[in-house]
Structure 1
Amino acid sequence: MGQPVIIQIENIFYPIIATVGVPANLVTIVILSRGIYGLSKCITRYLVAMAVADLLVLVFAVILYQINEAYFQYSILSYTPICSLNIALSFAFIDCSVWLTVAFTFDRFVAICCQKLRTKYCTEKTAAVVIAVVCSLAVLENVPIYFMFEPRKVIDNVPWFCYVKSGFYSSNMWGAFLWLETILTPFAPFILILLLNALTIRHIVLANRVRRGLRRNNKGENHNDAEMNNRRKSMILLLAISGSFILFWMITFISYMCALFTDAQFTETNYNDPFTIMELSGYMLRSLSCCINTFIYAVSQSKFRDELKNMIKRPLAAITCLFK
């Protein structure tokens, strides 16, 4: 009997995502680390950290777990202690990626809406501290996940693969942990990002109305308003990044809510079950979100596009010279 359709899709989808996403994030890290004109060091810190977190998600959650499970069963990565560690690290890096998006959104909210706090908070040093705290807490929060699994098979006294412990869903302690995990990721980030974006957009719209009114009264002033253009660019970048997060995490968010308020369970093996299909589809979209920011920068930042073109042209030019 052939594999279920959702598994066949996964086996094609994840290698493609890894092939595209890993180079894309590496290129993003290199370009952003060099500095792009028009982006502050504070913004650059967050964008680089987000790219690193996305890269680590692709390495641990996609390559070392999903692709290994599909194509390299009974490798050393399928040994239960290593498998459990890999899953715990995958969740930790996913939380890093999510909460760095929240931190970036909050930084842009402060920069645009809170002028008094802006000079103290929106600095490279503060960004570094926030990134370190977010990543440290994400790792600590996911330590219990390592102890959540038991071997799926034991062959010659060697435990293989990871299977959620049989008492997980009936345990009050694990139930509380699942609630906490769901609240922290993705429920709270959803609410915070939507709220911060709404407040930021409202502030920009009101501020632009005031500036337009003042400019109409000053007829001799040049109508090329640099401040309004900067606000527009900041809003486009902010909404593109946070909007893509909301879009690609929506199905995972819904599946988490279903697991909490119904009898649905994660990691079911019935691949014809609608909840299982929704859960696995959400994981695929969540992985896709880890390689989408590169394309957002390429569309919204002209300097990023120019640097990307240069990085592509240099090796091509070197290859051309070899054949001349």
Structure 2
Amino acid sequence: MVETPQSNSTFLYPTFFLLTGIPGLGGAQAWLTMVFGPMYLLALLGNGALLAVIQTDSTLHQPMFLLLATLAATDLGLATSIAPGLLAVLWFGPQPVPYTACLVQMFFVHALTAVESGVLLAMACDRAVAVGRPLHYSILVTKARVGYAALALILKAVAIVVPFPLLVARFEHFHAKTIHHAYCAHMAVVELVVGNTRVNNLYGLALSLAVSGVDILGISGSYGLIAHTVLRLPTREARAKAFGTCSSHICVILAFYVPGLFSYLTHRFGHHTVPKPVHILFSNIYLLLPPALNPFIYGARTKQIRDRLLETFTFKKSQF
């Protein structure tokens, strides 16, 4: 039987927290598994296929595809860090999660989010160099530099996100065990803390603005340079093709940042005006929709990968 906290109780390092999913929906939230379940399945199949194709085809071991593989690996980790628990909460109702496991999930969710944001920036810069300086692309962008960039993004994410669970772990008392969320988000856990959480709030605000703000500015600048270059192309067909590719990439970027910024801003400043179920719903969409879309937008629309997938399926079909 799951223990439920009393309203006036405080708990010293609770052995578990209770995740309730999306508040206010009750048993109706089970229907959301029909939305989030397919999203997770698409993320697994799409990103898994993308990684398999890039790994097995040596002709795809180029900087652009290595960045795409980094994004696919990040998407797999990000979706898997929340989807199994989310689906369990939606289908079976509130679920207990051990205290330590909650802090571990908090770290991975926020770290992988930071890595994904950095990879999107790196991919935008890569495309800006490819479009703006095509003759120098092979010199400026190499496999070694892509590897260093991926390592730097991982180390940066670990360094800036490690304080999140540590800042929570320093508190000894909690006024409740119930987290009104579908996963252990930093601010959702901080709401349960007994004590002064000013440092947690300020660090979370500064980190979100610094990481997301810098990455959004970099992505905007990169696509601005791409648009400037594309507009100077000689034929309408070339411009339309380039803009078609860029617009699909921008849609994926917006799908990552818009729900995330909405969730963050409503949690900070709009919790009295935006219903909590809407806020929680967007925060889950923010983490599952991009991993489901990215393989099809970035991967399936890339000619080399699309051709390789068609060859694979055609070969398997001919064997039967």
Normalised by the shorter chain, which TM-score bucket? 0.7 to 0.9
What is the TM-score when the length of structure 2 is the normalising length? 0.74
Aligned-partner Cα distance in 2 for 1:9–1:19:
16
Aligned-partner Cα distance in 2 for 1:299–1:232:
19
Q: Which of 252, 264, 267 is residue 271 of structure 2 equivalent to?
A: 264
Aligned-partner Cα distance in 1 for 2:206–2:118:
15
RMSD between aligned alpha carbons?
Answer: 3.6
CA separation of 1:295/1:119 partners in 2, compared to 1, >3 Å: closer, same or farther? closer
For 1:274-310, what per-residue CA distance to the aligned partner results, in whole angstroms no more than 9, with x for missing partners?
Answer: 2541342242144111121221245523332232234
Instruction: Report the 3-state secondary structure (helix = DSSP H, G, I; strand = E; otherwise coil) of the residue aligned with 1:240.
Output: helix
For 1:36-93, what per-residue CA distance to the aligned partner results, in whole angstroms no more than 9, with x for missing partners?
Answer: 86x6711011011001100111111222x32243356798x82110122022112211
- Does 2:109 align with 1:90? yes
CA separation of 1:87/1:105 partners in 2, compared to 1, >3 Å: closer, same or farther? same
Q: Which of 89, 101, 118 is residue 99 of structure 1 equivalent to?
A: 118
**Which has more radius of gyration?**
1
- Does 2:78 align with 1:57? yes
Is residue 105–residue 238 contact of structure 1 (8 Å, CA) maintained in 2? Answer: no
Aligned-partner Cα distance in 1 for 2:245–2:297:
8
Is residue 298–residue 304 contact of structure 1 (8 Å, CA) maintained in 2? Answer: yes
For 1:102-140, what per-residue CA distance to the aligned partner results, in whole angstroms no more than 9, with x for missing partners?
Answer: 111012212332468745431111111001101121122
Name the aligned partner's letter for residue 255 of structure 1: S
Per-residue deviation, 1:248: 4.3
For 1:128-167, what per-residue CA distance to the aligned partner results, in whole angstroms no more than 9, with x for missing partners?
Answer: 100110112112221122243769549xxxxxx9561334
Please name the residue that 1:177 is paired with.
203
How many corresponding residue pairs? Answer: 284
1:1-324 paired onto structure 2 within 5 Å: 3-4=25-26, 7-35=29-57, 41-63=62-84, 65-71=85-91, 78-114=97-133, 118-147=137-166, 148=168, 153=177, 164-165=189-190, 166-167=192-193, 171-206=197-232, 208-209=233-234, 236-260=244-268, 262=269, 264=271, 274-297=275-298, 299-313=300-314, 320=320
Instruction: Report the 3-state secondary structure (helix = DSSP H, G, I; strand = E; otherwise coil) of the residue aligned with 2:147.
Output: helix
Is residue 92–residue 139 contact of structure 1 (8 Å, CA) maintained in 2? Answer: yes
Aligned-partner Cα distance in 2 for 1:153–1:44:
44
CA separation of 1:301/1:194 partners in 2, compared to 1, >3 Å: closer, same or farther? same
Aligned-partner Cα distance in 2 for 1:9–1:170:
38
Aligned-partner Cα distance in 2 for 1:286–1:127:
24
Gap regions ≥5 residues in structure 2:
1-23
Aligned-partner Cα distance in 1 for 2:275–2:244:
36
Is residue 266–residue 274 contact of structure 2 (8 Å, CA) maintained in 1? Answer: no
Aligned-partner Cα distance in 2 for 1:53–1:41:
18
For 1:202-224, what per-residue CA distance to the aligned partner results, in whole angstroms no more than 9, with x for missing partners?
Answer: 12212x24xx6xxxxxxxxxxxx
CA separation of 1:258/1:312 partners in 2, compared to 1, >3 Å: closer, same or farther? same
User: Sequence identity, in percent?
Assistant: 14
Per-residue deviation, 1:98: 1.7
Gap regions ≥5 residues in structure 1:
155-160, 213-224, 266-271
The one of the two structures with greater contact order (alpha-carbon pairs below 8 A, sep at least 6) is 2
